[in-house]
Amino acid sequence: MQIEIINHSSHPLPAYQTAGSAGMDLYAFITDEIYLEPMQRILIPTGLHVALPMGVEAQIRPRSGLAIKQGITCLNTPGTIDSDYRGEIKVILINLSNETQTIRNGDRIAQMVIARYESAQWQQVESLESSHRGEGGFGSTG
């Protein structure tokens, strides 16, 4: 699928790192280093703008290496970039570690997954067909 993209940063376009990758890395596009204190959250720009086709979203997700090595993850995960949004893609990061973490220009801060979706139309009814699980939730399956 072809997707139009504008890249105002000096960093590479998002790209798959391996043939089996679902996500493409996003890079921080900042002028100065950012010192992210424990439990602090911040919005990091990427310099990217996209025009997604109808029926397609971009999901912004954490990078597992950043999470395990530095305790940095994304809030509002997965974040959704809608097909009609044309603003800059930005990533909400939070530092869950006990130490100050540094974000530098060009750091890989998140990954973006392109996914198709269905639009739903509600059909209001008085009852639902029963299922084996029923109303069991929040750990009811073991």
The predicted pLDDT at position 94 comes to 98
Cα atoms found within 13 Å of the Cα of residue 76, Cβ hemisphere only: 12
| Residue whose C-alpha is closest to residue 111's, from 127, 128, 93 | 93
Q: Is the dihedral of CA 11, 13, 18, 24 positive or negative?
A: positive
Domains along the chain? 4-116 (2.70.40.10)
pLDDT at residue 127, rounded to an integer: 94
| HSE-up of residue 115 (Cα within 13 Å, Cβ side) | 16
* Each residue's pLDDT expressed in tens, for the chain with a length of 142 residues: 999 999 999 999 999 999 999 999 999 999 999 999 999 999 999 999 999 999 999 999 999 999 999 999 999 999 999 999 999 999 999 999 999 999 999 999 999 999 999 999 999 999 999 988 888 778 777 7
Predicted structure pTM score: 0.89
